[in-house]
Amino acid sequence: MQQFPCPFCGLRNEREFHFAGEAGKTRPDTTGKVSNADWASYLYTLKNRKGEVREVWMHRSCSELFILRRNSVTMAVLGHEQLRKDVP
Amino acid sequence: MTYSALTLLREAFRGHTGWKPAWRSPKPAAEYDVIIIGGGGHGLATAYYLAKNHNVGRIAVLEKGWLGGGNTGRNTTVIRSNYFYPESVALYELSMKLYEGLSQELNYNVMFSQRGMLILAHSEPEMEMAARTVNAMRLNGVDADLLGPEDVRKRAPILNFRDDARYPIHGAVFQGRAGTGRHDAVAWGYARGADRQGVDIIQNCEVLDVIIEGGVCKGVETNQGVIRAGRIGAAVAGHSSVLAEMAGFDLPIQSYALQAFVSEPLKPVIDTVAFSPSAGTYFSQSDKGGLVIGGGLDRVPSYGQRGNMPMQETVLSGLVEMAPAVAKVKLLRHWAGIVDVTPDSSPVIGPSGIDELFINCGWGTGGFKAIPAGGFLFAHLLASGTHHEISRPFDLDRFTGGHLIDEGAASGIAH
């Protein structure tokens, strides 16, 4: 099995992780009017890149959500970023 | 040359020296009326029906590798139309009907064997859902039967009827007209049929860029040079998003690997297709005797056409639960295809958003069974520029309009 990095737990078995979606989408401002096209694009459009991708994943064992950078062809993990902010 | 018992006999007598290649390998012309990107089942079937039903003159199919070398040659060959929504049934039943006459039509044996398919129900609530599925299928005009445990046992005694089964068999949804086909033969049969009508099938021709002039798609740049066309259709499955990025339009598609397995050859143990949603596994037996085993999508989006351990464990442990007697059977081969999954597990057929560029994609894990219908409907779209009534609901505009056809949720079938 492959090992994925959790920012909190470190390297863990890939089966403990859940793919949540592509990173970088911004929810349209729903206090104003949002067109059908913009809303559909937010809900459904995907870049689905072949090669380097940046995605939101969850480590289900500890519920940590984080950014995983990996290669979608070789499956190599290229890096990860913490999404959780530290207590100020 | 037309294939028949007579030509087979004649060739047998002259040492099989008279067989001709089933299709030509031409150099690409500078321009065509229609170019189809992707020489898998859908692309080849599209070319065939364009030439046959719509009388389009100059057609080319561009394939970056070899014919049927992608998902068409990497699936578990199941053909079925056991869906829930009327739109889906119309689509997959069209495909089933075309498959039923395909060997005759193409003069090429695609070995469509209507051995039936069981979708097992493992609890009383699942039996209620099975009854709902059967009713929906019958209302939509498709054959379906609700089987009790004894009927299932008669059809497939290899399945797990032990008292200690984790998933005891309460019954099944049975579609008798479902079955399996010879995947390579479907690609080769359509290729030969298209070639005979003058379609240029160009292999080892990879599309590197899409030519857009004034917002209109005018052709493609390939590793064999620029090829221009009046209209372009893309049927590139798992690589649809890559093509969309070249051309500059958006798709709601995520690519995943879908794995499958073949075992060493065995004496006949099952003469139907059996699927257990609880176990996450389905299997049938090929004419050579190998068990052909499949399951759900990988958990990680991927363009790597390779198998991997997590899903292998899930699918094979599911197989052992479904049929404990085959636990010690050895695997012969294991592979993965890259499938294009949409949010509602239904395909996309329609305009891309760029003039003269049309797409046929999003078939997810169920593209093989849909090859004849996908080709038939895509050819109609490419020839006329407008939808056939069966493909209309599958336009990209369903995502902005909110008319999703959510088969993943409705029929509970892994897509």
- The ipTM is 0.95
Residue A32 domain-assigned (yes or no)? no
- Using CA atoms, how far apart are residues B218 and B210, in angstroms rounded to an integer? 8
Please report which residue ranges of B220-364 form alpha helices under DSSP H. 240-247, 309-322
The count of structural domains within chain A is 1
Residue A33 domain-assigned (yes or no)? no
Residue A7 domain-assigned (yes or no)? yes
Token representation of residue B256: 């995943």
Residue A68 domain-assigned (yes or no)? yes
Q: What is the CA radius of gyration of chain A?
A: 15
pLDDT digits over B135-171, tens only? Answer: 999 999 999 999 999 999 999 999 999 999 999 999 9
- Using CA atoms, how far apart are residues B345 and A51, in angstroms rounded to an integer? 24
Residue A21 maps to which CATH number? 3.30.2270.10
Residue A35 domain-assigned (yes or no)? no
Tens digit of pLDDT at every position of chain B (415 positions): 899 999 999 999 999 999 999 999 999 999 999 999 999 999 999 999 999 999 999 999 999 999 989 999 989 999 999 999 999 999 999 999 999 999 999 999 999 999 999 999 999 999 999 999 999 999 999 999 999 999 999 999 999 999 999 999 999 999 999 999 999 999 999 999 999 999 999 999 999 999 999 999 999 999 999 999 999 999 999 999 999 999 999 999 999 999 999 999 999 999 999 999 999 999 999 999 999 999 999 989 999 988 889 999 999 999 999 999 999 999 999 999 999 999 999 999 999 999 999 999 999 999 999 999 999 999 999 999 999 999 999 999 999 999 999 987 766 555 4
Residue with tokens 């464990």: B313
Q: How far is A77 from chain B (nearest CA, A)?
A: 12
Using alpha carbons, list the distances in angstroms from residue B218 to B31, B35, B226, B379. Answer: 10, 10, 10, 18
User: In chain B, which residues touch A (CB < 8 A)?
Assistant: 239, 241-242, 245, 250-255, 299-304, 308-310, 343, 399-402
Q: Does the beta-carbon distance from A48 to B400 stay under 8 Å? A: no
Q: Cβ contacts of residue B47 below 8 Å, gap of 6+?
A: B36, B59, B61, B190, B194, B199, B201, B375, B379
Give the pLDDT confidence score for residue B307 in this predicted structure.
87
Degrees, nearest 5: CA angle A3-A58-B277: 85
Residue A88 domain-assigned (yes or no)? no
- Give one DSSP letter per residue of B156-179, joined into a string: -TTS---TT-SS---EEEEETT-E
Residue A87 domain-assigned (yes or no)? no
Q: Does the beta-carbon distance from B399 to A43 stay under 8 Å? A: yes
Give the pLDDT confidence score for residue B415 in this predicted structure.
45
**In this structure, which amino acid lies at residue A63?**
S
- Residue A54, classed as helix, strand or coil, is strand
**A contacts of B402 (beta carbons < 8 Å):** 36
- Using CA atoms, how far apart are residues B191 and B201, in angstroms rounded to an integer? 7
Residue with tokens 């053909």: B79
**B contacts of A1 (beta carbons < 8 Å):** 309-310
pLDDT digits over A31-79, tens only? Answer: 999 999 999 999 999 999 999 999 999 999 999 999 999 999 999 999 9
B282, exposed or middle or buried, with CB in 10 Å at 0-12, 13-18, 19+? buried
Give the pLDDT confidence score for residue B413 in this predicted structure.
55
Domain that holds residue A48: 3-26+40-82
Taking CA–CA distances from A47, the nearest residue in chain B reads B241
Question: Which member of A2, A72, A74 has the closest CB to residue B301?
Answer: A72
Taking CA–CA distances from A54, the nearest residue in chain B reads B301
Residue A63 domain-assigned (yes or no)? yes
The answer to whether B37 touches B233, Cβ cutoff 8 Å, is yes
Token representation of residue B84: 């829930």
Residue whose C-alpha is closest to residue B263's, from B284, B248, B242: B284
Degrees, nearest 5: CA angle A51-A56-A57: 100
Q: Does the beta-carbon distance from B303 to A73 stay under 8 Å? A: yes
For residue B77, how many other CB atoms are within 10 A of its CB?
A: 25
- Residue B16, classed as helix, strand or coil, is coil
Judged by phi (left if over 0) then psi (alpha if -120 to 50, else beta), residue B224 lies in alpha
Indicate if the alpha-carbon torsion angle B66, B69, B72, B78 is positive or negative: positive
Indicate if the alpha-carbon torsion angle B395, B398, B403, B407 is positive or negative: positive
Token representation of residue B281: 């596994």
**B contacts of A37 (beta carbons < 8 Å):** 400
